[in-house]
Structure 1
Amino acid sequence: MKEWWAKTSEHLFEQFSPSHIGMMGVAAAGVAFITSLKDKLVRQLEKFKWLRVALLALLLASEVSYQAWTVSAGVWSVAGHLPLHLCAVASLAAVVALVTWNETLIQFAFFTGVIPPLIAVITPEVPYGYRHYRFWKFFLHHMSIPWSALFLATAKPHTITLRAAFKVYGLLAIYALFIGKGFNPATGANYLYLSQTPNAATPLDFLGSGRTYTINLAIAVMAMFLGQYCCWKFITQIPKKTGLTLPVFFRRVLVS
C-alpha cells in the first residue's frame, strides 16, 4: 500500500502493455454498454439510478483522491494540479449534470468529455504502471468521463443538437481565452495545452506550433464537435428509421 501511494515508483508505465490494452478494452466495453442502453434509459431512467450514482462516485473519487495524493506527495502546485484541463472541466460539468440534469452542462459534458478522454486512454500521459495509484486514477477517471457524458446524453437525447455543438464551442472558446491569455501566463501553467502539446505523443503533435498550432487546434475542436454530433445522430436515429440512407440522414442532421 505504501508503494502504491508513494510519490514515485520504479514500476514505469509502458504504452500498449497488457495492462494498458486491458484498460482500453474496459473503456471500449463501457462505451458500448452505455450506448446500448439508449432506448431503455429514456423510458426507464429510474431503473438505472445505480449507474448514475456509480458514475458520480467514480468522478468524485478520482478528482478528490488525486488532489489528496498531490498534497501528500508534496507535488501540488497551482500551475500543474488544478482541475482546469479540458478533461477535468468536462468531469466537473458531468458531476454537476448528474446531480441537476442541467441541459447546458449535459451538452458541455457530451461535446468535451467523450473524444478527448478516450484519446487520452489510448495515448496516456501517466508515468507509472499498475502498481502505482497514478495508473488507476488516470484510467478510471478518463474512462468514467466519457461513460458519464454518454449516460447523460443517452438519458436526455433531446439536449444534443447542432445548435448545442456551436453553443458549447462558444463557451469553450471563452474559457480557453481566459486560460490562454490570463491564467496560464500569470502562473506559468499550460492548462488546455494551449502553449505546447503534452509530453506524451498525441494527435495534437500534428497541429504545428505557435500561432499555427492555436489556429489548427480551434479548427480541430470544431471539426470534432461536428463529427461527434453527426456520429451521435447516426447512432441514435438509424435503428428507429429503417431504410434511412446517408444523404437523407445528413439532410435531417442539418435541419435538426
Structure 2
Amino acid sequence: MLFGGDASAAPFSMFSLQHILMILLLFTGIFIIYLIRKLSVPRSAEILFAVSLLLFEAWYQAWLIFTDRWALHHALPLELSNISVILAVVLLIKPNKLLFEITFLVGIGGAIQAVITPVLSFGWPHFRFVHFFYTHIAVIWAVFYFLWNRGFTLTYSSVWKAMVFLNVLLPFIWMVNVLTGGNYWFIMEKPEGDSLVDFFGDHPWYILGMEASAVVIFLLLVFLFGNGKRRKRLS
C-alpha cells in the first residue's frame, strides 16, 4: 500500500476497472447482508467493525499531517462523510433507533453518491483509495445490517428527524467556516466544477436547493426501504 502525497504514483480514474470493482463490492456486500439477515452476529463483530472505522479515520488524519496536507479549513472531520462514519461507529457500539434513522438517511444519501462519482485523486493501491472506499462502503453496509439483521425500521417521520439533525448542525458548520475560511458542506460557496448544485441558483439560494434535494432523496430511501411493521431486535 502506498502512503505518499503524490497522486501520480497511483492516479485514480473514474469508471476505471478499480472504480467499477469498488461499485461491485458495494452492491455485492449489500446482497450478502440481505442473504444472511437471519443469522445471529456476535456483538464482538459489531464492536470490531466500529473500531476498524475509527482506526481508518485516525489513520487518515495522520496521513494528512505527515504529507503536509492537514489544514483547519479543510481537514477537520466535519464533512457529511466524516459525520456519517462517526454516527455509524456510535450506532455499532450502542444501537439506537433514532440514531439508526439519521445514519441510514444521511449516510446513504452521501455515501452512494461518493462511491459512484468520487472526488478522488489517488487510485489503488494507495492508502487514500482504500480509506475512501472502505469508509463510505462500510457506512452503507452498517445501516443495511441494522435494517435487515437487527430489524430496525424506517418511516416517513425518519425524514424530518434527519433534516432536523442536519439543520441543527448547519449553524455550527457555518461558524467553523467563518472562523477557518473553510467551505465545509459547501455552504459558503459552490463546489468547483460542474455539479448538481449549479441547478439551484446562486449563493445562498442553492443551499435551499440542497435541502430540498436531501428531502427528496430521504423520501425515496424511505419509500424503497421503509417498513413500519418491522420490529427492531436489540441483543
Q: Deviations over 1:188-242 (max 9, x none)?
A: 11112223344465544443331331111110111111111111027x97xx9xx
Q: Percent identity?
A: 27
Paired with 2:89 and 2:217, the residues of 1 have a C-alpha distance of 23
Match of 1:165 in 2: 159
Query: Hey, what does 2:189 align to over in structure 1?
Result: 196
Q: Which residue of 2 aligns with 1:141?
A: 135
**Residue identity opposite 1:35 in structure 2:** Y
The structure with the larger Rg is: 1
Q: Does 1:71 align with 2:65?
A: yes
Contact 2:81 2:111 in 1 (8 A): yes
Which residue of 1 is the match for residue 209 of structure 2? Answer: 216
In the aligned structure 2, how far is the partner of 1:205 from the partner of 1:32? 34
Deviation of 1:154 (Å): 2.7
Structure 1 residue 53, shift from structure 2 partner: 4.0
CA contact (8 A) 1:123 1:202 kept: no
Q: For residue 79 of structure 2, what is the aligned residue in structure 1?
A: 85
Residues 88-167 of structure 1: matches in 2 within 5 Å?
88-167=82-161
State the SS of the aligned residue for 2:162: helix
Correspondence for 1:6: 4
Equivalence for 1:28: 27
Q: In the TM superposition, what is the alpha-carbon distance from 1:100 to its structure 2 partner?
A: 0.8
2:49 corresponds to 1:55: yes
User: Which residue of structure 2 aligns with residue 19 of structure 1?
Assistant: 18
Question: Do the aligned partners of 2:109 and 2:214 also contact (CA within 8 Å) in 1?
Answer: no
**How high is the TM-score relative to the length of structure 1?**
0.80
Tell me if the contact between 1:160 and 1:229 (Cα under 8 Å) persists in the aligned partners: yes
In structure 1, distance between residues paired with 2:168 and 2:63: 31
- Larger mean CA deviation between 191-200 and 97-106 belongs to 191-200
Mind listing any 5+ residue stretches in structure 2 that lack a counterpart? 231-235
Paired residues of 1:58 and 1:144 also in contact (CA < 8 A): no
Q: 1:81, CA displacement in angstroms?
A: 1.1
**Structure 2: distance between partners of 1:67 and 1:22:** 26
**Deviation string, structure 1 residues 34-90 (Cα, Å, up to 9, x no partner):** 23444x1xxx54x35465245324322321110110111122112111111111111
Contiguous gaps of at least 5 residues in structure 1 = 241-256
Indicate the structure with greater helix content: 1
Amino acid at match of 2:14: Q
Give the structure-2-normalised TM-score: 0.87
C-alpha deviations, 1:95-152, integer Å up to 9, x for none? 0110111222222111111131111011111112113211111111111111112222
Q: Residues 203, 50 of structure 1: CA spacing in aligned structure 2 closer, same or farther, 3 A cutoff?
A: farther
